[in-house]
Structure 1
Amino acid sequence: MRRMIIAATACMAFSGMAPARDAGSLQRYEGHVPGASVLVLKDGKPVLRKSLGFANLETGERATPATDYRLASVSKQFTAALILLLAEDGKLKLDDPVRKWLPSLPASEQAITLHHLLSHSSGLVDYEDLMPADFPGQISDAQVLDLLSKESRTYFAPGTSYRYSNSGYVLLGLVAQKAGGKDLAALLKERIFAPLHMDNTLMYRRGGPEPAHRAYGYSEESGKWVRTDQSPTSATRGDGGIYSSIDDLAKWDAAWYDNRLLSAHSRELATTAHTRITDEADVDAYGYGWRIHGDVRWHSGESMGFRHVIVRWPRQHVTVIMLTNRNDPEPYHLALEVAKPYVD
């Protein structure tokens, strides 16, 4: 019962509490344009919760705090958490070679472990670069595995460097399915979304259940907003296929402060530096699904027509979540600006 009360509290609406400077910084999302949903949590309670613009320009559906956006790479946090849960169950080990679970991968990748995939230190080739220019339709996770199984080249020996890898997280999703014995969407619902009462969050597959309040992605072209909701790489799942809202993500944020989902050990593994990074701004290191910058833990997501960010200051108990259904601008620095009144 206590968990349900905390989760519900994290999603209460506090309207009219945003400082004027927040409203000004978000003005670009106002009007008949693709929108944004923004949430600031302080000590588990929303001090700013608002939406601007439209989730669907064609139908005139406005963005709301319940609007479901394609999270793109913010989804990696959930894939990583699912792997950690399966490790807690004893169904896999983080030092398992990925070929133990996906034996079609070339022998040259025998040294790559699940830890390397989680921390982007595998050296796997980007599947996007292996796709033929005339690839028909949208690539699936199984097709990504097929491409990687035919590619013996790697960028570097595993564990010796860092390179952000969608390939690695697609493979993690496939590993989770094998270890968990169920489809990835079902596993995520059973192990994460349902326990946290993230009732409007799902791993989307075309032809499957639709997000309850779906936002569509747009890009600005010649001064006009054009729907650009899908691309050839928009159907992969382990690296970016989840739809969620700021209200549901408030429950996700709350789960990082106690043992309601992951053990303290798993939470520490996820948010501790495993790979040192020197070539990305505002990133000192990478954990498992989290970028690390000083005391800040954050991640962005970008796909066709969507740009998002979740930024957490765990020691100060502050989180900013910003979801947008447009190709530009990148919202990370705007999220930092919105957070200023609440971060000491």
Structure 2
Amino acid sequence: MTVRPSFSCLKLLLGVLSLLCWLQPALKAIQPPDAADNPDTKQQATELKGVSAAELTAFTDSLAAKGLWLTELSTRMSRGNQVFDARAAPNTAELAWFAHVNLTAEQFAEKQKQYSADGFVLLSSKALTVRRQRLHSGLWTQDPQASFELQLPAEELPETGVIGTNLEPLNQLFRNFLKNDAVPGATVAVSRDGKMLFERGFGWASVDQKTPMQPDHEMRIASISKPLTAVAILLLEADGKLSLDDPILPILATHSAGFSPEQALDSDPRWADVQIRHLLQHTAGIDRDRSKDTMFELVRIAGTLELDRSPNTHEIVKYQLLQKLDAPPGTEFHYSNVGYCLLGRIIEAVTKSSCEEFVRQRILIPGGMTRTRLGRTTLEHRGTHEVFYTTRNRRRVPLVFDLIAPPADGIRFVEQPWGQWDLEVMDAHGGWVSTAGDLVRFAEMLSATENGLLQQKSLTLMLQRPALPEPSDSAVWYGLGWNVRELAEVRRFNIWHTGLLSGTSTLLVRRWDDYCWAVLFNCDRTNKNTPCSVAIDGPMHDAVDSSVQLLPR
């Protein structure tokens, strides 16, 4: 089975400029785009000479769109005024950096102590007497020579769970995969016709504490959250509460948050043409390669909306509706996280309840998915039976909330899975936590049976190919919340979804022959830099087929 990428384009928050002009702090957060965000961006070194503090601020603000970082910073007196010289270059190593100007000696010493403790090195510094006061400027960056590579325990790889211990092809697949690809841990579940055939844990739930992975350990499922949202919309369609062809603006206008259709239409009249179906199929005209992934632009959104805290989902939607579309609705496929954020708000507008509550009442409870819930961002809010996530490079990054509202005692640094982005605002597109067992229960319910969630009409809608102006004869497409592969020889379909966030990679499959499986990893990539879900996908089909031969007839 060929998997089309469905994972989020994540960005490292890569810079902060604090201009303490006459000791009046004005924090600026610099968030350069990932290379995939804007392929047309030209990364070229650039410099300024003899500029004012205001011009320096504007210069550093412009670095984000160019993928640059500050590499040199100095200050001097010119004709009785303080001026600055600065140089920026491509931030190819994706290092976080901080620049401060006009600090007292005590403030400078405190910053040096703080940043050294966080693994930063002083790249350059300059002291200057201004109006009889000695002021210091400094540029700090993460040490490019420091190694933060993931180290796995040397002990023998643990295995847990009793369901499927005799299915050696599956067991051997994960023993070899975790060992050869240096992946910390995984949970796996396989079922068919309501019977759990395999449910086991492999490796480590925590590499630092050497905690064995259990079959029911909870993990972030990332973009597998989208099928939950899509099924919720299909349930509302079956209830007669909405139509997939409904334009979204009139529905959003009824939301308690007060979304303004007029403002959206002022931004781009084409917003009037966006329908619910377009959001479900990623054809609404929102292209993150051209206009960035809104869900990971929280610093920019907070600045635009003049917020003193991280924006919530309602504010993200308000910001999105102020943006121009990148293509006419219904004409092009572009995978969109913020499109599913909009769907979450449509669910709220129609049901007059939270998206979370509707999913719980109509999907989780009927399906017996007792271990599925919305996740939290920071380590201190980790669930009691949730894994510890890790990345291959464990270099720490600024906590996104602190970039928006800096604490008095300084910005905190965290490992990427615990605050590089805000998980809470990802509810409808990537925010759920679940278990492999719960996810196969969800997949099992996608059949027109007595215990199924959806009627045959809804299942047919879910599998439909998008009606784009340029038809495709590909055997693979994105339906309503699912990747779909048509198997013409059996007149059946495979449906699946993957997910990727820093620290987690996930896969959920319902195959044409009604075998369902879920695989959850607590690391996003293998030692070959391949998303774990992509690397396991093909071998998983083979292992399931071989294991089926061992089941009693």
TM bucket, shorter chain: 0.7 to 0.9
1:269 is aligned to: 461
CA distance in structure 2 between the partners assigned to 1:310 and 1:147 by the alignment: 32
Q: CA deviation at 1:43?
A: 4.3
SS of corresponding position for 1:274:
coil
Structure 2 partner of 1:305: 503
Match of 1:19 in 2: 168
- TM-score by length of structure 1 reads 0.84
**Contact 1:309 1:322 (C-alpha < 8 Å) held by counterparts:** yes
Q: Distance in 2 between matches of 1:81 and 1:47?
A: 25
Q: Is the 8 A contact 1:124 1:168 kept in 2?
A: yes
Partner deviation per Cα, 1:113-172 (whole Å, 9 max, x = no partner)? 101101111012548545265667755321220221211x21211111111111110000
CA contact (8 A) 2:331 2:469 kept: no
Q: Which has the larger radius of gyration?
A: 2
What letter matches 1:328 in structure 2? R
2:206 aligned residue? 56
Distance 2:272 2:220 in 1: 33
Query: What is aligned with 2:157?
Result: none
In the alignment, the residues of structure 1 paired with residue 511 and residue 282 of structure 2 have an alpha-carbon distance, to the nearest angstrom, of: 23
Contact 1:234 1:304 (C-alpha < 8 Å) held by counterparts: no
Shift of 1:82: 0.6
> What does 1:179-328 correspond to in 2, within 5 Å?
179-205=350-376, 211=383, 213-221=385-393, 227-230=415-418, 231-235=420-424, 236-257=426-447, 258-259=449-450, 260-274=452-466, 284-294=476-486, 295-314=493-512, 316-328=513-525
In the alignment, which residue of structure 1 is the partner of 2:275?
A: 113
Is 1:337 the counterpart of 2:539? The answer is yes
The count of residues paired between Structure 1 and Structure 2 equals 328
* Contact 1:275–1:285, Cα closer than 8 Å, also in 2: no
Query: What secondary structure, in the 3-state scheme, does the structure 1 residue paired with 2:480 have?
Result: coil
What secondary structure sits across from 2:215 in the alignment? coil
For the residue of structure 2 that corresponds to 1:237, the secondary structure is: helix
- In structure 2, distance between residues paired with 1:98 and 1:89: 18
**1:220: Cα distance to partner?**
0.9
Is 1:163 matched up with 2:334? Answer: yes
User: CA 1:21–1:232 in structure 2 vs 1: closer, same or farther (change >3 Å)?
Assistant: closer
Sort the Cα spacing of 1:35 and 1:240 in 2 relative to 1 into closer, same or farther, 3 A: same
Cα distance change on mapping 1:255 and 1:276 into 2, 3 Å: farther
Deviation of 1:179 after TM superposition, in Å, equals: 0.6
Give 1:93's match in structure 2, choosing from 243, 246, 261.
243
In structure 1, distance between residues paired with 2:468 and 2:197: 34
Matches within 5 A, 1:140-159: 140-151=312-323, 153-159=324-330
* Per-residue deviation, 1:92: 1.7
CA-to-partner distance for each residue in 1:45-85, whole Å, 9 max, x for gaps?
33332211222334443222211111110000000111111
Residue 176 to residue 53, structure 1, CA distance change in 2 (3 Å): same
Note the C-alpha offset of 1:21. 6.7
1:89 shift after superposition: 1.7
CA distance in 2, matches of 1:33, 1:313: 25
- Decide which moves more: 157-166 or 23-32: 23-32
Structure 2 equivalent of residue 69 of structure 1:
219
Contact 1:216 1:325 in 2 (8 A): yes
1:312 offset after TM fit, Å? 2.1
Give, in whole Å, the separation in 1 of the partners of 2:541 and 2:518.
10
Distance 1:61 1:166, change over 3 A: same
TM-score normalised to the size of structure 2?
0.54
- Show CA shifts across 1:302-344 (max 9, x none): 1121111112213x12222111111203223423212214449
User: For the structure 1 residues 55 and 140, does the alpha-carbon distance in structure 2 shift closer, same or farther, using more than 3 Å as the test?
Assistant: farther
| Cα distance in 2 between the residues matched to 1:91 and 1:177 | 12
Question: Matches of 2:243 and 2:497 in 1, distance apart?
Answer: 25
Change in 2 beyond 3 A, CA 1:172/1:341:
same
